[in-house]
Structures are given as structure tokens and as C-alpha cells.
Amino acid sequence: MPSALHMTKIKSGLILLLFMQWCQPVRAQPVKQKFSIKDSSDHAFDFSDWIINANGFVPIPYIITEPALGGFGGALLPVFIKKNPPYYDSVKGKLKITPVAPNITGGIGVYTLNDTWVLAAFRSGTLVKQRIKYTVGAAYADVNMSFYKTFEQFGEKKLAFNIKALPVLLQASKRISKSNWYAGFKYLFLKADTKYVGDTSVLNLAKSMELSKIISQMGLLVELDNRDNIFTPFKGMKVHTDVNRADKFLGSDYEFWRINYYMYAYQMIIPSITAGFRLDGQQSFGEPPFYMLPYVDMRGIPIYRYQGNADILSELEFRWDFTRRWSAMLFGGAGKAFDEWSEFGNTNWITSYGTGFRYLLARKFKLRVGVDVAHGPDTWAYYIVFGSNWSK
């Protein structure tokens, strides 16, 4: 299940992986270097030197708080990092140096309170001479999760499924000239076995959703990213679109289209307050399986709770840096999922809002971490955040 496998929808964990991609540890030295977990500038608790001196291997423990996966769990992400040289360009007669993410090889192990577990391996790197970014990943997941479906005779019902999934992801994109634009392709192979484990009152109807199928999906992507920082931006934006097709000629049991698009924009209002805006949507055409349908993805709303052939949402958040190290967060948003665009006006908006805090954990990397507490239509939820809560 690709959404539960982001990996298993570890939003903040993926942000942390991106964070590790931009860390640049030095090679091991003959004599062990000494480093401090206090910043030399203000003597506050800071992990910058620890990261820089990690010598290529960093084991990352992580807490999972997604409500749809039981609300609590743990993960371990061991990674190996190899530094890459930067891009050197001549722009209007001036030297332009662009940092390049290091190559990363790693794994992920996950277990949550509802007996979901995941094992995964990945490699993310850059072919510097060709200026091509790539990602290769594979996983095995045993996921317990509920979906919601409206039946004519019963109305909306909560359907609990166990899904055993084997996904493989390949992605590559090439930098366009000397710009901040990238274009490329992505490929997803997914074998999923679904079994209904919920309320027996709809057993006969839910049994029709028990399938063992393969999805083979190819897509094209275009992306712009000019944020000043990938972890906790003060200004800039990231704009992304990808169009994907699952088809029998690719070996898929399903035939459908899926379009994903999003924008994250940041602007500093005054030196201590930064505003962020998010616009996000998905659209599917054809007959995708229920676990591949678009859904509203916001803090305070369990994943897959609101699904349809299309969804769209927007969020606004403010970060107030009231000291050099500490920040307060305020956020809110609204979204909706529907089957046809003709239903857009008649579909209710789903709203969520919340607050949180951040601590500047690694000043040299501008990485802030913290906790968000959010309220949606059905529940309260909390999220441990590394960098930004918005990441794909």
C-alpha cells in the first residue's frame, strides 16, 4: 500500500530521511575527533557537530504517531552516507556553487500498536556529472488499516483490512540546465494481498474487496524547488506535478491514471514570523483499487478516512520564533474528497486545526524538531515533526 508505505505514512520520518540526505559527515580520521552537543555560539543543546562527525553511519530511532496505524509505534532507520561534490556552474560570468545531496543507503524497520510492521531498504543518490537524482526502494509491509465505504443498504461503514504489500519504487530526475527545475520519471511495482478482518455485518460485500493483485505504474514528473532551506524554510516554494499510468502492457492487473500535484510556499512576514501555504491534490481516472484512491491528507485526520476519485486541500501555518531556539506553531486547513468534479460544490469541507512547538536542534543545518497537536472532525492527534510537516 503505497500511502501507508510512505514508508507506512511516516511523514516526519521521511522528512528526517531528507534531512539525513543533506547532512555531510566527514570521513573517519586516524585520531577520533572530539565534538560537543552544545552549540559554540550560544552553548545551547545542539546536534550539528554530532551529525557532521557521524562518519557515514547514523542509526535513527523514530516514534510513529499516525492514528490510522494504532496511534503509536516505533521505527529504526540505519543509514550510510557518502558525500558528493557540489555542482559548479558559470552564470553570467560568475561561479555558482550548488550543494548536492550525498548518496544514502539505508533500511527501515517499523512496528505499531495495531500490529502493523514494515521492513524496507532504499538507496538515494546523485550522478553528479550527469546531474541526475535517483531513488530506488523496496519494502515488505503487513499493514492493518481501516477504510470507509458507503453502501446503498447500510450507509457509510468502516471496513478493516489486513494488507500484505510488496512495493518497489524507481525514480530519476535530471536538472534542467542551471535552473531549479527537474524533470524525470517514476515507476511503481506493487503486489498487494488484501483480507477483510472487520465487522461481519458487511462481510459478504467486503469479501469482494479481498484481492491479490499487481499494480505496475509508470509516470512522468516535473518539479521546481527554490526554498532557502529544505527543513524549515523561511522563503521560497516547491511545486511538483507527476502523471502516472497503470496498464496491462506494463504487467498491471489494473488500468488507471493518477495525477498528483502540490505546492508549498513560504514567506517571512517579519524576522520572527514566517507564513506557509500548502495546496495539494490528487486525481484518479479509471478503476484503481480502493487503497490507491486519493484521500485527504492533513494533520488531525487519519489517512484514508476521506477518499474519492479526487481530493483537494489547502493549509495555512504560521511559525513564531520567539527565541533563537524555540518556536510556536499555529495551523489550520480544509479539504474535501469527491468522485466527480460536478460534486465539488455539494461535498462538505473537512477542516482541521492545531498548534505546536519547535526547537532548533541543529543550527548549522537549520533543522527544527517538535510536536504538533491537531483536531479534525473525528479525533485529536499528535505528530512528532522533523523539519516541516509538509513533505512528499
**What mean pLDDT is reported for the chain?**
86
Q: Is the pLDDT of residue 75 over 50?
A: yes
Quick check: 327 and 320 in contact, CB under 8 A?
yes
| pLDDT of amino acid 58 | 67
Q: pLDDT tens digit string along 50-71?
A: 776 766 566 777 788 888 888 8
HSE at residue 242, side-chain half, CA atoms within 13 A, is: 19
Any domain includes 211: yes
| pLDDT of amino acid 18 | 38
The proportion of the chain whose per-residue pLDDT surpasses 70, expressed as a percent, equals 89
Q: pLDDT tens digit string along 177-189?
A: 888 899 999 999 9
| pLDDT of amino acid 9 | 44
| pLDDT of amino acid 54 | 63
CATH number of 307's domain: 2.40.160.50
| pLDDT of amino acid 305 | 93
Q: Is the pLDDT of residue 154 over 60?
A: yes
Any domain includes 196: yes
Model confidence band, residue 14 (pLDDT cutoffs 50, 70, 90): very low
| pLDDT of amino acid 366 | 82
Model confidence band, residue 287 (pLDDT cutoffs 50, 70, 90): very high
Domain that holds residue 360: 47-386
| pLDDT of amino acid 99 | 74
Q: pLDDT tens digit string along 241-260?
A: 999 999 999 999 999 999 99
DSSP string, 279-336: EEEEEEEE---GGGS-B---TTS-TTSSB-SEEEEEEEEEEE--SSSEEEEEEEEEEE
H or E, element range at 19: helix 11-22
Any domain includes 15: no
Which cell goes with 158? 468502516
- Give, in degrees to the nearest 5, the angle at Cα 44 between 39 and 45: 85
- The least confident of 76-90, 232-246, 257-271, 327-341 is 76-90
Any domain includes 336: yes
| pLDDT of amino acid 34 | 60
Q: pLDDT tens digit string along 347-358?
A: 999 999 999 999
- The least confident of 17-21, 84-88, 173-177, 244-248 is 17-21
Any domain includes 67: yes
| pLDDT of amino acid 33 | 56
Any domain includes 35: no
Count: domains in the chain: 1
- The least confident of 132-146, 252-266, 313-327, 362-376 is 362-376
Model confidence band, residue 86 (pLDDT cutoffs 50, 70, 90): confident
Model confidence band, residue 364 (pLDDT cutoffs 50, 70, 90): confident
Any domain includes 41: no
| pLDDT of amino acid 206 | 81
- The least confident of 59-63, 135-139, 248-252, 317-321 is 59-63
Give residue 8's region: left, alpha or beta (phi > 0; psi -120 to 50): left
Beta strand segments in the chain, E? 57-64, 73-82, 87-91, 94-98, 103-112, 117-127, 132-151, 155-175, 181-196, 212-225, 236-246, 256-270, 273-286, 310-320, 326-338, 350-362, 367-375, 380-386
Check residues 21 and 141 and name the one with the higher pLDDT: 141
Q: Is the pLDDT of residue 1 over 80?
A: no
Any domain includes 54: yes
| pLDDT of amino acid 55 | 62
Question: pTM of the predicted model, to two decimals?
Answer: 0.83
Q: Is the pLDDT of residue 166 over 90?
A: yes
HSE at residue 325, side-chain half, CA atoms within 13 A, is: 12
